[in-house]
Structures are given as structure tokens and as C-alpha cells.
Structure 1
Amino acid sequence: MMRAVICNTFDGVDSLVLGTMDSPKPRPHQVLVDVHAASISFMDCLMVAGKYQLRPQPPFVPGTDAAGVVAEVGSEVTRFKPGDRVICGNWSGCYAERVVASQDATVLLPDGVDFETGSTVRHCYGTARYALLDCARLQAGETIFISGAAGGVGLAAVDLARHLGATIIAGVGTPDKAGITRAHGAQEVIVYGSEDLRQRIKDITGGKGVDVFFDNIGGEIFSTMTRLMNWGGRMLPVGFTSGEIVSVPMNLPLLKNYSVVGSYWGAWVERFPQASLDADAQLLAWVAQGSIKPHVSASLPLEEFRTGMHKVTQRLAQGRTVLRVR
């Protein structure tokens, strides 16, 4: 038996319970991991409310990202052995003392990277890396605007864009979030709750608009940015935390020859597992070298999962909130 956060019904965070359930068993191509830390994502919160495009069959354990130690390997696993320190991911299952994951979604954790930091890398930085490098082909010297820039994926995008040499404009909802984005590399910050986004983008870019728009929010911000792209720019719809999915008048991309490029990291991972593994390994190497610096704003015991998840849903988290499982 193991301790786990359990979702019995799709009624949101407050309906979750901390209980016990049977420990999972690894299939031939899976590893069983003793979880030390699990990070909380906005996707986890949507999933337990039945608002994500995937709906696991209840009862299930939420959680997409974990870090820990391999306890057991399936009969066809060749890349890992018991005792290996790893990060791993799954659509669910990580808010528990043990989780199973495909060996294609598991990566060795460098000795210099702790479990809490490791648990924040795969989803956040994987999403940012896929969007910025594979989808947008972001170049050094280009200007990027990142909405929701203080959240988990947003701050990872800021950090990675800095590493890639871009000029970064961070968009945040409240002034208290400006500092963390500047600390991770943003040269300019727009508080779109109190500033005119359109005018500020024009002022910062000299009227040209941005080369890349990394959007976590959707809604009115996305609509506004459809008219603020530079020639040949790339818009990246990554998430819709506003709850509003908007349409693009297609004459606007035509006039500026800009592109709208979907950036669904999870679907890419399933289709190209080896490329994903290589990307994860590169990200962890950068973390170990100190080239990128994941930010854990809160580290809570597993028992306080509701507090952590509410921090995420209420937009109070900066960077990643992590659950300490062991």
C-alpha cells in the first residue's frame, strides 16, 4: 500500500482526498519510482475538475511530474536499474509515494540537481523548449513577449529565452510578480491588469511588434497581440488559463506574414519519444551547469496538496509549487 492523493469525482481540488491505495506494478517497458517530490501544474488542477481534454477514469491519482529513485524495472527496460535517481512524467499518478512511468518518459537526474528542482523541469521547461526552439525557432536578438510570465511554464520560458539570447518582455497580472521575471532575465515587464498592453508593446518595440509571442493565457491578451506581431513573427498558443479561446482574423497573419504555431508539448512527446528524451537530457544538463535556474516558490508536504493546488488555481504561485512526498 502507498499514500496518495485520490480523485474520486471531477469536482475540483476540494473534493480530493489523501488516502491509501495499492502500489502500482511496472509493465514490461515501465519503471516504478519511489517519489520524493512532485510538482503541481495548472493542468493537474484542470484535470481533477474535469476541464482538461483528458479525463482519466476515477479513482485516479493526479500529478504529471515527479522526481525520485527507481524501485523496480519492467522486464523490457534497458536504460534504468533500481537505485537510479530520475525524473519522470505521466498524464497522472505523481501525487503518490510510488508512480509508474514509461522508460521513454524517464530521464536520469544529475547528481547535482535535487529532487524538488528536478520535479519542475520536464513539464515546464519541456513545454518552453519545444515551443521556443522546435516551433518558433527563436533566434538570439529577437524580441519575445511571454504572457503569464511568473507562472511555472511562463517563468521557464523567460529563463530559457534569456539563455537563448532573446530580448524578453514579460507580461504579468499584478505588480508583485514583476521582480521574479526580471530576476530570470526579462528586460521589460508589462502589468496588463493596469497598463495598456497595445501601447506598451508599441513603445518597447518602436512600433514593429514582437517576433515571438508565447501565450499561456488566451482571451483578450491573445486578441490584442494578433495586431502586435512583427513581420515574419510567430504566435505560440500554449495554454488558455483565462478560460477563453479566441479566433484570429486571418487577414492579420497575411498582412505581416506571421504564423500561428500550435505548441502542444504533450502530444509531441508521445509522437517523438526519443527527441523528447534528448531534449529532457539537455535541459537537465543546463540545470546542472547553472545555465537555467528553475524556481521553486513553495515546497509543501504531501498533506498540504490542497494549499499548493489552490496557490496555482488562484494565480498566487510564482514558478513552481512542489509537494514533498518522502
Structure 2
Amino acid sequence: MIEIEQSGALNTVQDLGRTAWRQLGVSVSGAMDALALRAGNLLLGNDENAAAIEVQMFPFRVRFLRDACIALTGADCRGQLDGVALPPWWGCRVRSGQLLELRYPRCGARGYLCVAGGIDVPEVMGSRSTALRGSFGGFAGRQLQRGDRLPIGVTSVRPLPTTGIGIVPPFVALGSVFPRNRNGHIQLRAIPAGEYALFAADHERFWQQSWQVSRQSNRTGYRLSGEPIQPSQSVEMRSYGLIPGIVQVPPAGEPIIQLSDANTAGGYPKIACVIEEDLWQLGQLQPGQSLQLVRSDAREALAIKQAVDEWLNRLRRDVPPMKNVANL
């Protein structure tokens, strides 16, 4: 059991989301940085889809009411266990009564607290993710608040050393796979989408300029501030299905990248779609930071997926063998 001692708005329980219900208007939800969630779960011997706590408002404090193993991934939230600093991308044992504090990140936007056995809230539509707009899933369908007690699943876990164990984060281990431009801004690969041809006059600028994440951004979508782009003609479109990564262009000309809590249908022209393996980088951008969109294709997207899968496979190989939690 975990007890929340301090939390801000939008800190929620998330897994990898519910993908089978979009046709009924149910958004995916799930972790904004799916790669951090998967890595933390693998370190602990969990299923990759085990539910964890996504923290994006700080400070965040939890007290453990039983012995457990945890992993901290995602943003470097300057974690402290009973006042002792923990490195980022770190797994360790915790004892009953200990207090964990996560503070405003040195870098990144969202931290993940993974626990051996996962956060054991009920599944709703095949997922434990919190859908805030629908008020279902996660812990009572809402953000976490002081006094909440979250159950931990009972499972076999990988024994972690008493001194802890670290993960080389993907932006270090896969630095060549996730490049930055000469200004240090992340580069997101995107594939041209249905109405791409309507923006022919602005193609070069769309790909070359730096876009800033607007303050009008959240888990539903990131609005990009920059020199607007406009279609060559006005078109009336029927609503079409949306998935995370779709880049739409509303009438004001500033693109919106749909994300975890995206609507399931929309009617703005779509100029591109960010490849799935790059979406975790968006989840770690704060409003005010900048990015560059880079034209890509399916072949490159598959090659990047293969590199990420190999990194995850190395993590599976390198973690210790399974052992029952009762023996820890």
C-alpha cells in the first residue's frame, strides 16, 4: 500500500492506455512517456503495461505502508527517500514507513513511480489508466490527492540490490536515434498525412522552423507556436478518426499534435503524423520549450522501432532473475 502525502493537479495512475475503444469515442489515455513506463516496469519484473504513477505537478510525496521495490524513470525529479537523494532512472528497495519525495525536475516534464506488482487499481475497459475527462479508470477516475491509499499488486519481482540499480536512459543509450538540431531542440520524425498537399506553399517552413510548445498545451494535445501555416484553399472536411501523433492545423495556422488524451475524431486538416517511437519525447517537453519536425517515412519509423526494441531487450537481459517478494 502507498499513501499520498502531497500531490498536485494532474498526477494520476497510468498504464499504456486503452486502445480498443476509440470507435466508441473513448480516448487512449495512458502514460505520456510510454518508454519510461515500460523501462521502469521491466526493471522490476512487471508486465510492461503495469500501472504506475505519472507525476507532472510537484512536489509529490508518498509514504510506503509495506516493503516494496520501486523504479523512478522519466524526468529527473530529484527524488529523495527519507531525505537521501536518489539518482534518476533508478530502482531500489523501500521499507514500510519510508517517505519518497519528488521535486520539480532538473530536466523533463513527467516522472514515473513504478512499483513491483504495479498499482493495483481496477481495470476499466481493459486498462488501469485514468481518463480525467470521463472520470473513470485509475484511482476513482480522478487525480491523486492527499490521503489516497493505493494498493500494490502481489507478484514476483526481480530482486534489486540494497544499494539500488540504475538504467542508462534512452536519450543517452540511443542518442544517435533521438537526435537534436544545432540549437539543441529535439527533432520529431513525422510522416506527411492526408491533407499535406494543401500546405505546399509552407512545406519548407513547416519542416525547417523551430516550433515552441504553447502554454495552451496539455495531455490532450500540444499546440505549437511559430509562424503560422495556411492551406492553399479552404476545405470542408468530415470528421475522421484521430490517434496520438496526428498533427492538425486549425484555422489560426498553429499546428496541434494530438496526444494521450486526444479526441477520437476531428475535422481540422492533418498535415503530418509524428511517429509513435518519438511521442515519448513530447511527453518530456515543458511549455515554452522548442522542437523541430523532421520529414520521415515508414521505413525510418520501423528502423527506430527496432533500435528501441533492442534497447528494451538489453534491459530485459541485464536485470537480475526473478525472485518472490516474500524473500526480499
Provide TM-score, normalisation by structure 2.
Answer: 0.27
Identify which of structures 1 and 2 has the higher relative contact order when contacts are C-alpha pairs closer than 8 Å and 6+ apart: 2
Q: TM-score, normalised by structure 1?
A: 0.27
